[in-house]
A and B are shown apart, each in its own frame.
Chain A
Amino acid sequence: MTKTSGRTDLLIALVLIVVAIAIPFQIDSRYVLGQIVLALFYACIASQWNLVFGFAGIFSLAPVAIFAVGGYATAMLCFFLGWSVWAALLPAALVAAVFSVLIGLACLRLTGVYVALLTLAVTQVMYLLIVTDTECFVQVGSVCRQLTGGPGGFSRFGDFGTRQLLKGDWMIGNYAIVCTLFVVIMVVTWVILKGPMGHAFRAIRDNPGYAVARGINRFRVQLLVFGLSAFLTGLAGGVYAAHFQVIGPTILQLPQLMFIIAIVVIGGTGTFWGPLVGTLVLMGADELMREVGEFRTLGLGLIIAASIVLLPNGLVGRFRDLMRYAGRNRSAGLKTSKDIQ
């Protein structure tokens, strides 16, 4: 990665931070702020899936499972042990990381579609185990609560305290927390990608044979990316659960996973800003199509299909191609005028 691209990333980040700070002053709709918060959660998961798939080349379909583990661990620590949400977030993220490493130990000996199948199976098994859990673990009033929360999931296990602190403006408080989370996740991801680890990820993705020949341990590097990305995804899951004060098995359903994949594909796999761009496009399109009712899902499907056909490298990839093309033309133009002189 060049110094120029590093400076560009920094410039984009600064602009985004200014926009993020301005948003609560410009938008007083709790709904719009809520949608932005939701978009930030999607961007968090997508950026970590992009790290695993886009940069390290592991076709894992476990991002929502790891996100859910983070959310469930947070909720369970609060619900059963009475912890505060703040205290539960980091241990829950650690639980998600351990969970992911265990999946990694089982599936990283495999490659390609087999990794996808195994991780997808893990997600679906988790969903089925939770929704079919009918045994009463504790009795809360007249409601029976299962160990996993069952099909109803967990709710009312605690929050960030913003409601008590900010009253009617609690959404702004939660927005600030989720924004901070997103910034932390992006900064950590950027540092990973800029460092030797990032180079190792890309080397394994682009030419595993050559990377191994140069002394990179494929299994260990891939396990590392599994653990690192899972810690951040799990942290996001915990914050998600605390924001909505609910975590349930619906998060594990296939449409959620497909939405995350679509975000990364549209934004651009293997690009740092791709997940954010993809999130903005898909969430924006979804919002704009609210009024067309039953055509909304069709519209989203068409956008995804068109992106795959017309933008194989995603929006960020296409933008980068255009910039390169413009740069080449500029150089060619300068050369021609020099020749004439």
Chain B
Amino acid sequence: MKRRQLLTGLGAGGLGAAALSALNAGAAHAQTGDPIPIGAALPMSGPSAGDGIEFKNGLDLAAAEINAAGGILGRPVEIHIEDTREMGADLVGQAMQRLIDRYNTPAIVNGYNLGANMVELDVAADNDVIVLHNNTQIAHQERVKSDPERYYGGFQTDPAEYWYGPGCLNFLNELVDAGQWKPANRKIAIVASAVEYSIVIGNAIRDKAAEFGWEVSVYETVPFPTNQWGPVLAKLREDPPAAILVTHFLAQDLAQFMTQFLTQPTPSLIYMQYGPSLPVFREIGGEAINGVIYSTVIGGLPDAFAAKYREDYRANFGDTASWLTGSQTYDALWMYATAAAVAGGPGEPFNGEQARKVAGVLKGMVHRGMSGSFRFDPEGLVAYSYPTETKDPSLGLPHQFLQHQDYRTDPKLIGPQLYADSQFMLPPWLS
């Protein structure tokens, strides 16, 4: 029996639910205790509102399941949302502080917030609360390492953006080695946008390119957000590279890139960042997005283990809802609930002793979620990436490579090999 078949039938959050049920068995007052307020500072408006809604969906679904399993030691969880709008350190910091002051939240489970400069960690440290976020930034581990005693409660539940660089180059080489793609030359073009996330990835690709046998022919930075791709495309058409790597990540902008690119395509493979995972990319781009490859270091897997989660997600939030994105906060809340139960309760703000217990459990736990296996680097408190950072798939989140092969259906997972359910296909403009 294959591992995938063995896991079929397990409900969404099945392992976590089983663990919580066992922990709740001893609770004298199942579902009768005071609710545990859990905060979430999410971009519910502004340029990342699409993701903010999915993050909220993920939290709502996880909260419903956790409560159905008996809550955390008999206490149901209650989600409170605060809008971080255009994000940034001041807005995110104030949103988190408001959640703590107003609802007394012992934990805050965010998706990502751009430009927050890890202010999340300071708010968590100042108030002795736990924060789990998906900012996907190497800056997290640097901050935690700078003062581990202070930042004990800050966890990044996905790998740093840095891993996109070597991961992407490695993937290109695998395609070449497997004979699935014959590049016209060894040139790559990098198109980044003016946000740290995009630029760190762009720089990581640029810095590692030569090591993987590639030459960067174009490195272009565009404003964030942008949908005017004409000047960039003109440059690319002047000296067509073998691959165009777009590290800008807003789905609507990336869809526009594809429609504008296809008016005069170059013989280049197109790789994009994160945005193509959102339904809006397919809705706006339509047929033009067929062939696009993208990757994400975190996202719901299209595997058997997550089948019930996907089904429930769509049943609750509609067929076009992005379970891939929602899984990020879904998994994070399950992890927190399990850790808080094991630690004997969530505590409350300014209860440093209890918060440290919860953080201690989180730090040591391995959780198989809808996005893969979570384990935190004990020094930087950042989830490991498989296969570039750790070779053990049971201890790292798979760096997933997906391809849109038919815009009317879900994208196909084409890497890493262990998780892949489809083969790479040459894009229409190359075949």
Contacts and interface: CB of A to CB of B under 8 A. Distances in A.
A binds B: yes
A168 B146 CA distance: 21
B142 A152 contact: no
B356 interface: no
Interface of B: 44-45, 83, 86-90, 93-94, 97-98, 100-102, 115, 117-119, 122, 126-127, 138-139, 141-143, 145-146, 162, 192, 194-196, 198-200, 202-203, 219, 221, 223-224, 350
| Interface bin, chain A | 35 or more
A143 interface: yes
Contacts of B221: 131-132, 134
A151 B115 contact: yes
Given A143-B139, A156-B143, A128 B223 contact: yes
Given A156-B143, A163-B126, A248 B101 contact: no
Contacts of A134: 192, 199, 202-203, 219, 221
Given A250-B89, A293-B45, A294-B45, 7 more contacts: A134-B202, A151-B196, A152-B196, A153-B117, A246-B119, A293-B44, A294-B44
Interface in A122-139: 128, 131-132, 134, 136
A253 interface: yes
A140 B126 CA distance: 24
A142 B89 contact: no
A77 B165 CA distance: 32
A215 interface: no
Interface of B, helix, strand, loop or mixed by DSSP: helix
A131 B114 CA distance: 13
14 contacts: A29-B101, A30-B100, A38-B90, A128-B194, A132-B221, A134-B202, A140-B142, A151-B196, A151-B224, A155-B118, A156-B146, A248-B88, A293-B45, A296-B83
A249 B83 CA distance: 20
B365 to A, nearest CB: 25
Contacts of B162: 142
A191 interface: no
A132 B122 CA distance: 27
A108 B198 CA distance: 39
Interface in A81-133: 128, 131-132
A136 B122 CA distance: 26
B93 A244 contact: yes
Contact of B126 (A128, A153, A170, A255): A170
B194 A151 contact: yes
Contact of A31 (B89, B101, B195): B101
A297 B45 contact: yes
Interface in A287-304: 290, 293-294, 296-297
A155 B121 CA distance: 12
A195 interface: no
A244 B89 contact: yes
Contacts of A307: none
Contacts of A244: 89-90, 93, 119
A153 B119 CA distance: 12
A290 B201 CA distance: 35
A180 interface: no
Contact of A168 (B138, B224, B350): B350
A248 B117 contact: yes
B126 to A, nearest CB: 7
A178 to B, nearest CB: 13
A152 B194 contact: no
Given A134-B202, A168-B350, A143 B142 contact: yes
Contacts of B119: 155, 244-246
B83 to A, nearest CB: 7
Contact of A136 (B44, B194, B202, B203): B203
